[in-house]
Structure 1
Amino acid sequence: MIVVPEREIAGLISAADCFTAVEQVFASMAQKSAYNFPVIREAIGHADALYGFKSGFDRESLALGLKSGGFWPNNAAKGLTNHQSTIFLFDADTGRCHAVVGGNLLTALRTAAASAISIRYLARQDAKVLGMIGAGHQSKFQLRAALDQRAFGKVVGWNLHPEALDRLAAVAEERDIPFEAVDLDRLGAEADVIITITSSFAPILKAAQVRPGTHLACMGTDTRGKQEVEAGLLAAATVFTDEIAQSVTIGEAQHAVAQGLIPAGDIIEIGAVINGTHPGRSGAEEITLFDGTGVGLQDLAVASSAVDLAISKGLAVEVDA
């Protein structure tokens, strides 16, 4: 069995590697050659933690496995990231555990890759202003990945605790792009692309604050009850997602579907756009929204890439299992 520890991940796999892996698995999902198993995600009643499993199987790559972990909101005070996870890969022919891979950085990279894919395929080509709602640990990965997709000339950001926006300002400075902290009304009025990456359980962004032609990547809602944007915004948009089953149960679309504002059948898998079986954006005035719920197959795809790279670079640790 191969072990790829968390400490090796940063030096092994790039954001571009993760983009390619996630793009391929989204395409495979849309072709129905890869599928996710039902998600388990529960509050454990200790340390305010959410814990669960995401798993799946890709018949194209033969990636089979699961990610186990969750969200520990008090970890920052302990010098740890709030998201903690480990990915287990199994041999599809024998069922034996093939690899154990540190999942913390990979989770951040694969989540950023998903929103970046949505921007590449759905945002207007002339998008110039990027809006960021949320400035937690994940936000810097989101911002870096998004800036690779369009020639943005400015980044505007909002966070419940404004002091945390320094994280986004630092990334913008890395890329030599102006950054400005703004209120939500101004963010919606200026941004051509908006990424929401919060852990909110109440809508932050309202439909009236978003102008025609905007693309939104809603990346924070991955649990029943969470919500980042007003349900009416989904009714005003063409909604895309990683997986429809998760979108309507634990994703941003759960609220709009439950309120009867949109039918589940109107939600489109982003993989269909990647494959060319759906045209994606239909016009410059259309609002497009990507509901990024985070699927287990994303984790398996990036972990498989990390294992391959670890083997090729001689960094894989082999243990008897």
Structure 2
Amino acid sequence: MLIVPERDIADLMTRDAAFDAVERVFAAMAAGDAYNFPVVREAIGHEEALYGFKGGFDQSGLTLGLKAGGYWPNNLEKRGIINHQSTIFLFDPDTGKVKAMIGGNLLTALRTAAASSVSIKHLARPDAKVIGMIGAGHQATFQLRAALEQRNFEKVIGWNYHPDMLPNIEKIATEAGVPFEAVELEGMRQADVIISITSAFAPSLMADHVAPGTHVACMGTDTKGKQEVEAALLAKAAVFTDEVAQSITIGEAQHAVAQGLIAEADVAQLGAVINGTDAGRTSEDQITLFDGTGVGLQDLAVAAAVVDLAVEQGIAIEVDF
């Protein structure tokens, strides 16, 4: 078995490699060549933690495995480590033997950012100039770095429940040479692309905060009850997702479906746009929305890529297991 520790991930995995891996696996999912297993996500009754498993099998890439981990909200304050903790396991699809164990913390951040970045590439208007950020936590910095590579953005605007955190994303904008402005939610109407990355259970971005022609990437809702945007926004938009079954049950679409504003048939796979079997954006004034629920196949794709890189560079640790 090969081991790639968390400490080595930063020197191995790039945003470009994560983007390519996620784009390929979305395409494979839409083509029916890859599928995700049902998600297990539970409150364990200890340390207020949420723990679970995401897995799947990619027939085209022969990638089989799972990610185990979750959210420990007291980690940073009590132990000085990040709240999200995860480990990815890959198995040989021919034999079932374990192939690799990979640190999943940074990879999760990179694959989540890659997913919204892939949606911007395929759904945002080519002339998009202003990007809006809803949320300014740790993951928001990854989201913004990746998104800025997809269009020639000339301005970043941001809003957060706690305004004192906005310097986190202002720093990323400044590093990229793009001016930043803190705005109220109504100010998001000037954005051509909006990324929402919060852990909210009540919507902040409303339908009338979004101008015609905007692409919205909702990246924080991955659990029943969570909600970042008003359900009415999905009714106004062309809705795309990574996994339809997750979108309508634990993703942003769960609320619009429950209220009868949209149906399951109204949610399309982003992979179909990548493959050319769905037209994607059909007009300049159309609102497009990507419901990024986070799927196990994303984790497996980036993990498989990082294992290959670790082997090439002689970094992977081999143990007899």
* TM-score (normalizing by structure 2): 0.99
- How far apart are 1:48 and its partner, in Å? 1.4
Instruction: Map 1:126-205; keep pairs closer than 5 Å.
Output: 126-187=127-188, 189-205=189-205
In 2: Cα distance, 1:242 partner to 1:43 partner: 24
Aligned residue in 2 for 1:230: 230
Task: Give the residue type in structure 1 aligned to 2:238.
Answer: T
Q: CA deviation at 1:117?
A: 0.3
Q: Which amino acid in the other structure matches residue 121 of structure 2? A: R
Post-superposition offset of 1:145: 0.4
User: C-alpha deviations, 1:171-193, integer Å up to 9, x for none?
Assistant: 01110100111110012x21110
Equivalent in the alignment of 1:312: 312
Alpha-carbon distance, 1:320 to partner: 0.9
Spell out, residue by residue over 1:242-269, the C-alpha distance to the aligned partner (whole angstroms, 9 max, x if none).
0000000100000001111000011000
**CA–CA distance in structure 2, aligned partners of residues 75 and 223 of structure 1:** 20
Partner of 2:120: 119
Cα distance in 1 for residues equivalent to 2:236 and 2:47: 38
The Cα of 1:270 is off from its aligned counterpart by 0.2
Partner of 1:300: 300
How far apart are the structure 2 equivalents of 1:87 and 1:294?
A: 14
| Corresponding position of 1:291 | 291
Q: How does 1:9-158 map to 2 (within 5 A)?
A: 9-77=9-77, 78-158=79-159
* Residue type of the alignment partner of 1:308: D
- The number of equivalent residue pairs is 320
1:141-193 Cα deviation digits (max 9, x unpaired): 00000000000000000011111111101101110100111110012x21110
Give the partner amino acid of 2:185. Answer: L
SS in 1 for 2:11: helix
Q: Secondary structure of the residue that 2:73 maps to in structure 1?
A: coil
Deviation at 1:82, TM superposition (A): 1.2
Q: What does the per-residue CA deviation read over 1:209-259, in whole Å, with 9 as the maximum and x for residues that have no partner?
A: 111101000000000100000001000100000000000010000000111
Question: Would you say 1:240 and 2:207 are equivalent positions?
Answer: no
In the alignment, the residues of structure 2 paired with residue 52 and residue 264 of structure 1 have an alpha-carbon distance, to the nearest angstrom, of 25
Whole-Å separation in 2 of the counterparts to 1:251 and 1:44: 21
What is the distance in 2 between the residues matched to 1:128 and 1:199? 27
Which letter does structure 2 place at the counterpart of 1:124?
R
Alpha-carbon shift at residue 44 of structure 1 (Å) = 1.2
After alignment, is 78-87 or 231-240 more displaced? Answer: 78-87
Secondary structure at the aligned position of 2:138 is classed as coil
Partner AA of 2:41 in structure 1:
R
Distance 2:71 2:236 in 1: 31
Mark the runs of 5 or more structure 2 residues left unpaired by the alignment: none
CA distance in structure 1 between the partners assigned to 2:232 and 2:71 by the alignment: 28
Alignment-mate amino acid for residue 316 of structure 2 = A
Q: TM-score with structure 1 length normalisation? A: 0.99
Identity of aligned residues (%): 67
| Aligned Cα root-mean-square deviation (Å) | 0.6
For 1:286 and 1:28, locate their aligned partners in 2 and report how far apart those are by CA, in whole Å: 26
SS in 2 for 1:66: strand
AA partner of residue 193 (structure 1): V
Output the amino acid matched with 1:283: S
Post-superposition CA distance 1:51-88 (Å, at most 9, x none): 10000000001100000001111222121111100000
- Aligned partners of 2:73, 2:193: CA distance in 1, in Å? 28
